[in-house]
């Protein structure tokens, strides 16, 4: 079975989903394959001001998640006009250079929404990611600007959109017997875990049936 997590580095809801991601990986280690993919947001999807970002953060972190801390809108840069592809390219580049786990992308997210660092800048994003992943800043910067990385990120975004969804985080659950469950915008672990349990149980039932009765005649 496989779970694919679609995310955007600057998405606050992806930030709030990370504990659920960790819980799923721990609970289903050895039973489920986990992978994350970038799903870029459109420029118009981003806040248009720090004040607007703060309003969203008061809703997500305060009203909904009841977090003990408030996210920072310091990453906002009006000069970028909503184009925050750079940190996503840097995260994908780091993965291509061997940093395949969650460390680098989480460091980028935390630098932005916890520390208020302007990772929309290539230099800032590379500094954060290179330190977190113990990578060469020069090599990482070159890779992040390569056509190969841009193509991979555009392709993963297209796969996300092909599911006819728009909210990040998104979780795509697939098992070997052809079942698929799509969650878009949810951050809590309970519905995800319940669905994985059901899909694993169905997969086991199919395997038991095949063991007794063989393949389809």
Q: What is the mean pLDDT of the chain?
A: 97
The candidate with the shortest Cα–Cα distance to 98, out of 134, 122, 124, 131, is 134
Give the residue, 101 or 61, on which the prediction is more confident: 101
**pLDDT for residue 64:** 87
Q: What is the mean pLDDT of residues 102-113?
A: 98
The candidate with the shortest Cα–Cα distance to 39, out of 208, 156, 191, 186, is 156
Q: What is the mean pLDDT of residues 191-212?
A: 97
Model confidence at 25: pLDDT above 90: yes
31 band by pLDDT with thresholds 50, 70 and 90 = very high
Q: And the tokens for 106?
A: 């989480």
**pLDDT for residue 162:** 98
| 3 beta partners | 34, 173
Q: And the tokens for 27?
A: 């609970």
pTM of the model: 0.95
Number of folded domains that form the chain: 1
**pLDDT for residue 99:** 96
**pLDDT for residue 148:** 98
**What's the CATH code of the domain at 44?**
3.40.30.10
Give dist(CA 24, CA 62) in Å, integer.
24
Number of residues assigned to the chain: 217
**pLDDT for residue 61:** 83
Model confidence at 60: pLDDT above 90: no
pLDDT, tens digit (0-9, with 9 covering 90-100), for 140-184: 999 999 999 999 999 999 999 999 999 999 999 999 999 999 999
62 band by pLDDT with thresholds 50, 70 and 90 = confident
Q: Supply the range of the domain harboring residue 63.
A: 2-213
Q: What is the mean pLDDT of residues 31-40?
A: 98
**pLDDT for residue 19:** 97
Q: And the tokens for 5?
A: 């997590």
H or E segment at 7?
Answer: strand 2-7
The candidate with the shortest Cα–Cα distance to 195, out of 6, 12, 27, is 27
Q: 65 near 35, Cβ under 8 Å?
A: no
Q: What is the mean pLDDT of residues 68-92?
A: 97
pLDDT, tens digit (0-9, with 9 covering 90-100), for 118-131: 999 999 999 999 99
Model confidence at 93: pLDDT above 90: yes
């Amino acid at each position: 079975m496989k779970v694919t997590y679609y995310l955007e580095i600057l998405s606050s809801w992806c930030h709030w989903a990370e504990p659920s991601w960790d819980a799923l990986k721990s609970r289903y280690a050895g039973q489920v394959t986990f992978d994350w993919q970038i799903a870029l947001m459109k420029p118009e999807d981003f806040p248009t001001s720090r004040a607007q970002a703060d309003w969203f953060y008061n809703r997500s972190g305060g009203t909904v998640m009841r977090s003990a801390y408030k996210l920072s809108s310091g990453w906002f840069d009006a000069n970028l006009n909503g184009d925050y592809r750079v940190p996503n390219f840097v995260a994908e580049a780091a993965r291509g250079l061997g940093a395949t786990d969650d460390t680098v992308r989480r460091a980028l997210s935390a630098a932005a929404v916890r520390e208020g660092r302007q990772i929309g800048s290539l230099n800032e994003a590379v500094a954060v990611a290179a330190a977190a992943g113990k990578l060469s800043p020069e090599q990482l910067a070159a890779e992040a600007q390569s056509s190969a990385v841009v193509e991979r990120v555009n392709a993963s975004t297209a796969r996300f959109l092909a599911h006819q969804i728009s909210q990040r985080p998104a979780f795509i659950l697939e098992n070997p017997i052809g079942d698929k469950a799509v969650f878009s915008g949810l951050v809590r672990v309970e519905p995800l875990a319940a669905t994985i349990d059901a899909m694993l149980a169905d997969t086991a039932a199919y395997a038991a049936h095949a063991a007794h009765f063989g393949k389809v005649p």
